[in-house]
Structure formats: C-alpha cells, structure tokens
Amino acid sequence: MRKHLRFAHVARFGVVPALVVLCAATAMAARPAQPDFGPNVDVFSPSTPATEMQKRIDAVYAIQHHNEFGPQRNAFLFLPGTYHVDVPIGFYTEVAGLGASPDDVHIIGNVHVDAAFKNDNATTTFWRDAEGFSVTPAGGTMQWAVSQAVPLRRMHIRGNMVLNQRHGWASGGWMSDDLIDGNVNSGTQQQWISRNSEWRSWKGSNWNMVFVGVVHAPAGEWPEPPYTKVAKTPVVREKPFLQVDKAGNYSVRVPSLRRDSVGITWRDGETPGKSIPIDKFYIAHPDRDTAATINKQLAAGKDLILTPGIYELNEPIRITRPNTVVLGLGFATLKPVKGTAAMTTADANGIIIAGLLFDAGPEMSPVLLRVGPKGSHADHRADPISLHDVFFRVGGAGAGRTKVNLEVNSNDTIIDHTWIWRADHGRGVGWTVNPSANGLVVNGNDVTAYGLFVEHHQQFQVLWNGNGGRTYFYQSEIPYDPSNQASYTSAPGTDGWASYKVADSVKTHEAWGLGIYSVFTYPDVVLTRAVEVPKRNGVRFHHIITVALGHHGVILNVINDTGGATKMEPRVTPKVTEYP
C-alpha cells in the first residue's frame, strides 16, 4: 500500500514518475523469473520466514514419513544463504541446495532421515535424497538412518554422521562427492559404498563396506574388517545439478568427466564442468505432459527436467540427441501403462539420465530403460553415457510386470548408483503377480558400475554379456518367493539362477565388494551358487560374501563351486577373497 501512495505522490511532478517507473521496471527485468517447477517443488530463500519454511517442511513430512508406496512426490530447493530449520526427509523427498558450491547453502539445525519402521529399523527407509548444501547439525551429529535408493551427494557435513537410528538395523547405502568434517559411524549398516568422499575418520563395519577414491579410507583389510578399498575412481562424472547465480539465473551444471580421481570435486569452490541455461530445458509436469509432448520437445533439441510426480506413459520417452541431459526432481516417476519401455536412448555420446524412478506398469514391458538399441557398437570412451540415481521398481505400489528393468547396450556407459528392485512387500507382490526376469542386462563393452543394488528378480539379477565390465560394490537379495525348486531351476543340475552371472563368452570382467543374501520364504529351495562366471584369468572377482537371512534354504557356494554354504544357525557367512 505504501508503494502505491508514494507513486501517487510523485505523479504530481510531471516527468519524474516516468523515471521511477522505468527504474522499477528495469530492476524487475534484471531479476529473471523463477522457472515453473510446479506445485510439488518449494523454492526457499533466506528471506523466507523460518516459521513459514518449517510449516511447509513439516506438512510434507507428515505425509511422506510413512508413505512408502504413496503417489506424492516433493522437492525442497534452497537458494544460496543461511537457514535455521529442521529438515526431516521422508519418502520421495529431495532436498537440494542451489549454490555452485555446497557451502553456498548452509542449514543450521537438524537435517535427518529417521527409521521408517518400528524398533528403529531402517531397512525399509528408501527413496529420499539430499544434495548440494552444508549442514551444521544440532548436537554435532547428523542422523542418516537409510537403506537403498537414498543418495547423499555433494554435501558438506560440519560435524559427525551416524548411519543408523539408535543401533537399529539399516541396509544402505550410498555417498559420493561428500565432505564430512568429523567421524562417520556406520554402526549397524549391513553394507555401504562411499565414492570420492572425504572425512576425518570412519568407524564401523558389518558385511560389505566399499571405499572407492576416498580420502582417509579406514584402516584394515578384508575380510576382518570387511573393507574393500580401491585407491582411485577409474572414470566417472558426478550427477548434474540445478544452480542459481547471483543474478538469479538458473542453470544445470554438468560436471566434467574425471579419470583416476580421489576426493571431492568442489574443493576449490565450483565443480568443474559446463553450465546449461535453464531455457535450454523443457520443464515437464506430470499433470499435463505425455510421452508425446515430451518427445516433441526432445526432438526440437531441448534437454529435459521432469518435475515431481508420476508420469503415466503410453509410449517410451525417446532420447535421440547426443549430450542430452535428463534430470528428475523429487523422484519423478516414469510408469509405462501400455506394455512399452518407459525410456530409450540412441547410441550417442554424452547422454545423461539422472534422478528418476522407473515403476513397472500393469502390462508386461520388454524393458523399462534401454540404453542404446540392441547391437550398439559406437566408441564412447571420450564422452560416455552416464546414469545417476536411476531406480527401478516392479510391484509394491501395485502389480507391475517387466522382463528386464535396465538394459545397457551402449559401450563405455557409466552406472553411478542404482537400485533395481522387484518388490518383496507392498501391493501387487507374488511370484506370478509381479514378474521380472532380470534386473540388469549389460550387452555393451567396457561398462562401469558403482553402487549396484539389484534384488529379488526371478532369474539372473545381473546378466553381463559385454567384455571389459567393472563393478564397484554389489548388493543383492535373491528372490524370497519361489514356492518350489522346480520353479527356480536355471539348468539341469543347477538350482536357482546365480545372482551375478557373467556370460560364458566374456573374456574380461572384474568386480570388487559383493554381498549376496538369501531369504527364502518356502522350505527346500536352494541356490547352487551366488556368482557364476567363466573360468578364465581375465575374469576376476575380489571380496565376496554370502549370508543367509532366513531359516529356509541356503546358498551352496559363493562363486562357481568355491566358498561353501551359508548357514543361519549357527551363523556361517562364507567369504571368498580372490577368484580365481
């Protein structure tokens, strides 16, 4: 009101009002409009009242705290500045800073993930995300009690971290490009991968802890404690992220490819890379976009941001242009409803797909995400395709059906954190209700995977047909629900399907840090071997463990005919240090 009175008063002086209006218009034009991210994205600034922010954060958490299979999706984005708020992160919630450096956004107070199940049990604490900001935790320690599909990326923790809640079970997890000033206590975490991160110290171990390109990796060697340490990360690019400059211009930062790297990317401030202006992106919305409208924009040369929500697709989203960036916010979910793939790509350089949940639909899909068409053969070493935080689900929110979840045909592809899950609980779950033969099929050569979580599929969890493959960390529960051995037999004399299968034709393959677990529901069902590979010197595995988590059935061998059988009581957890 006072602005209007002031302008009315100035109007009596003739030419001056035009000057004032011009200056005001110029000031308004100098500040770009905020992109339309839709109703499920909240963008906070330091000028937003703390009570207003807290009210919105609490309202979302009230829905998402126990919303394991619900349809809601949310993202909280913080503009550069300092904040005093408490941020609990529930299901399908992304919390991200919009600075070029994590230190540009500073949250003083709790940022935490709490166990989603009773008795402090975090083994179903899935699908949530924190990226790109710094935290000074209340009390000095940040609680991150998580399991699968919970990225912690490009974070600065100005204190300590604990990866469980009051010593309750947890089954994580992933961190990359993170700096923790103090100690990380993994506690009851069953397994974990840390890539390109730094801390003062690490405490804790259980079954399978992997450290790749980490500064101050903990002392000790496999199998006691079960630490797998790889000094340098051979090839990776970090996940793209939204950022805002001082003038208010939004862009997406695409980090540079790094080879033989150690530690974080942002030690000197910005992460090296290129920035793509926001106007180069088509910003899709689940309430009004279809595969057809999205494909039209992609064909016109746009990159793609998918805002939070569920996109029901009657045809695949097609990525055809080299260096296309696809970035999902708030666990944007792609669900094919007509028995097609959800997304396919060309065999083209530099395509990046990040931050998406692929949810199988009610009609059988041949595949959910296909990277490169079958028969792809191009060399992408200089500019590989990369996948970051791409997650897959068959059943749980409702019956879903697919033959393969992720099929990688393009050479040199980088898989940078995935959880590929055939649901073992929730709605639409049963041996004939949510069929899925394979989690991951790799046909391309020289494919590298970091943080490979693949569970409960009905045949090989992973089938690797390409040469030169590398996996750094593997976690897998084999299916719970084959009702008898006849329905779970891969070949004469071979019970079940190995969790990790390297095809007989493969000449070279290498993997580090694998944990494979059995939880058979029905008695008298066994698995002959957890890992099945051709017996040749070019195929090498380092540090494998098998564990029986239930009283029924066993895994008879760790890799091929080596390692011996698991046992629940007394607990026997066979380990193989090197194969061959």
Catalytic residue, chosen from 221, 477, 510, 578, is 477
101 is written with which tokens? 């450096």
Helices vs strands, H then E, count in the chain = 4, 47
Rounded Cα distance, 321 and 58, in Å: 41
* Residue linked to tokens 């995400």: 369
The kind and range of the H/E element at 254 are strand 250-255
Rounded Cα distance, 75 and 50, in Å: 17
Please list the residues that pair with 445 across neighbouring strands.
none
- Those residues whose C-beta lies under 8 Å from the C-beta of residue 276, and which sit 6 or more positions away, are 251, 252, 254, 303, 325
Rounded Cα distance, 285 and 306, in Å: 7
Rounded Cα distance, 305 and 325, in Å: 8
Q: Please count the residues of the chain.
A: 580
Catalytic (active site) residue 477: yes
The kind and range of the H/E element at 437 are strand 436-442
- Kindly write down the DSSP assignment for every residue of 139-156, as one continuous string: GGEEEB---SS--EES-E
* Residue linked to tokens 């689940």: 286
Phi, psi of 465 (to 5 degrees): -100, -15
Determine whether 470 is exposed, middle or buried from the number of CB atoms within 10 Å of its CB (0-12, 13-18, 19+).
middle
Rounded Cα distance, 146 and 125, in Å: 5
Compute CA distances 268 → 100, 233, 252, 272, 397, whole Å: 11, 19, 19, 9, 43
User: Residue 372: left if φ>0, alpha if ψ -120 to 50, beta else—which one?
Assistant: left
Compute CA distances 447 → 231, 373, 407, 409, 416, whole Å: 19, 15, 12, 9, 11
Do 173 and 146 contact (CB within 8 A), yes or no? yes
**Largest pairwise CA distance in the chain:** 97
Nearest to 95 by CA among 136, 139, 39, 150: 150
Compute CA distances 285 → 201, 306, 317, 562, whole Å: 43, 7, 14, 51
b/e sequence 67-79, b meaning 16+ C-beta within 10 Å: bbbeebbbbbbbb
Beta strands in 337-429 (DSSP E): 343-345, 352-359, 365-371, 386-394, 402-408, 414-422
Q: How far apart are the first and last CA of the chain?
A: 79
* Residue linked to tokens 């970051």: 388
Compute CA distances 243 → 43, 44, 82, 96, 533, whole Å: 12, 13, 16, 10, 44
Q: Say which DSSP state 505 is in.
A: T
The residues that are catalytic are 477
